[in-house]
Amino acid sequence: MGPQVQDLSGQPLSQVYTGAFAIVWSVVQGTVTDTNGLPVSDVVLQPDNGIPPTKTDINGIYSLSLPPGGTFLVTPSATSLMFVPGTRTYANVIGTLSNDNYLAVGMVMPALTTRVESNTQVLSWFGVPGVAYQPFYSTNLVDWLPYGGVLPGTNGPMQLAVPINGDPIQFFRLGVSY
């Protein structure tokens, strides 16, 4: 007869355990839409650490299964599109996390237009929600400094008015983060 199985006190166990267990994966779900609020299908949401990806359906809806309690980085991707946010980190998700949505855009760097209105130069662009725009200025095109604060993106026209005065000529550009 082989060795007996004992409990922590050293007493033999009175019966053999038989049974099963299951690990219930956590679920992250949401939608991917464009700037007009329309669904975007076939977006791949790829977690790291070897977890299988998922795709959005024709309604832009996705459901991604993750092992509970871990930390994962998820990156959306599709041909010719960028996403806001570009990645998301999930840590210790247990159960279901809903409404974790992404915005699909063609680009986040705007095309700037300018016009002069009396003693003001107006910089205009089309904003993207979830993107932060930081104006910068330079007098020599080498050293760039922030001009004012960060402007939160909107799903529409944005502008920045810059006074024209006797200061040295200034050049402007926009930095973006998402």
Q: Can you point out the beta strands (E) in the chain?
A: 26-33, 44-47, 54-55, 61-66, 71-77, 82-84, 88-91, 96-97, 102-105, 113-117, 120-126, 132-138, 145-146, 151-152, 157-163, 171-177
Residue-wise pLDDT tens digits, 33-60: 998 899 999 999 999 988 999 999 999 9
Residue-wise pLDDT tens digits, 98-123: 999 999 988 767 788 889 888 888 98
Q: What is the reported pTM?
A: 0.66
Q: Looking at the 3D structure of the chain, how many domains does it have? A: 2
Give the pLDDT of residue 23: 77
Give the pLDDT of residue 102: 95
> Domain of 40: which CATH number?
2.60.40.1120
Range of the domain at 160: 113-177
